A = this chain, B = another copy of it.
Amino acid sequence: MIVVLSGGVGGARFLQGVVQVVPQQQITVISNTGDDREFYGLHVSPDVDIVLYSLAGIVDAANGWGIRDDTYNTMQQLTRYGNEDWFLLGDRDLATHIHRTNLLRQGKTLSEVTDNLRIQLGLDLRVLPMSDQPIATHIQTPAGLLHFEEYLVKHRSADDVQDVVFVGASKAKPAPGVLDAIKQADAILIAPSNPIVSVGTILAVPGIHDALHEASGMVIAISPIVGGAPIKGPADKIMRGLGLEVSAIGVTRCYRDFLDVMIIDEQDAHLTREIEDLGIPVVVTDTIMRDDETKAALARTALQAAGLTI
């Protein structure tokens, strides 16, 4: 059994590699839900949906999120009714949020709803939200506390980051199956996702950090920072705001309590010694996921680093 801790676009692309080299029945994804937010009263789970859409082959590959060839007629009409329009939700994408909200209102948990969507989309792997309780990542900025999606999308990550707060995390519990999956995993892969607002959110759920520390399977992380910058997203601004070095070294520091191997890009090979000085062995490889082949190769490297023969 393989566990993958995943955020949105980077995690989903990595998972597109993992499913090429491991049968889906052997994969459990633990997904960040700190970005979840209601729009128009509908529960949107951006990272869960990016993972589901990407693995179901319906993702808008150019954006990395949303459904391919979607239209925006519902939002256009919602805007006519005076609603905000800064978070783009396509018509097909909205079906996911309507369906999810409907099942949640009927009393189903976020785990159950996620599993329902996963089945309807024809996927055989397990996708677990990190928690069934609401956790809302907020960014402290000079302009005030912003919900992560407000910071990322509405403000286009323009504000200085002073702190990151996981509202609700201290009272949340890991979703059913999360701790067991980590405990029983032969390997735990931390996708090349934002170490603070994607993976860090998962680690903020009480019990998950300790479970990783005590896991018998090896914990392997892939750095999302390559050549001093993130492949996508505002990880650099957020890491810098928290006083972390924007590099594979900074990422390693986030995970060093429980990390067994750090995978870094060839461009960062010169950082190997410094990471190893933190007590973490390093694997250097091509981490840029350009196509199906490079995605599969990265997944294979991660699994081999965990000591698995595939």
Interface residues of A (CB under 8 A from B): 40-42, 67, 70-71, 73-78, 80-83, 90-96, 98-99, 101-102, 105-106, 116-117, 120-121
Contact of A92 among B40, B77, B98, B99 (CB under 8 A): B77
A-B pairs with lowest CB-CB distance, top 8: A41-B102, A77-B95, A73-B91, A77-B92, A91-B91, A78-B95, A81-B120, A81-B99
Q: Are B92 and A94 in contact (CB under 8 A)?
A: no
Dominant SS among interface residues on chain A: helix
Q: Are B67 and A98 in contact (CB under 8 A)?
A: no
Point out the residues of chain B lying under 8 angstroms from A83, CB to CB: 99
Nearest chain B residue, comparing its CB with the CB of A70: B73
CB distance from A112 to the nearest CB of B (A): 14
- Complex CA–CA separation, A166 to B121 (angstroms): 39
Q: Are A99 and B67 in contact (CB under 8 A)?
A: no
Q: Are B81 and A95 in contact (CB under 8 A)?
A: yes
Nearest chain B residue, comparing its CB with the CB of A69: B73
Query: Please, could you name 27 A-B residue pairs with CB atoms under 8 Å apart, sorted by A?
Result: A40-B98, A40-B99, A41-B98, A41-B101, A41-B102, A41-B105, A67-B77, A71-B71, A73-B91, A74-B91, A74-B92, A74-B94, A75-B95, A77-B91, A77-B92, A77-B96, A78-B95, A78-B98, A80-B95, A80-B121, A81-B95, A81-B96, A81-B117, A81-B120, A82-B120, A83-B99, A94-B94
**Residue with the highest number of chain B CB atoms closer than 10 Å, among A73, A82, A90, A117:** A73
Point out the residues of chain B lying under 8 angstroms from A121, CB to CB: 80
Point out the residues of chain B lying under 8 angstroms from A102, CB to CB: 40-42
- Complex CA–CA separation, A81 to B98 (angstroms): 11
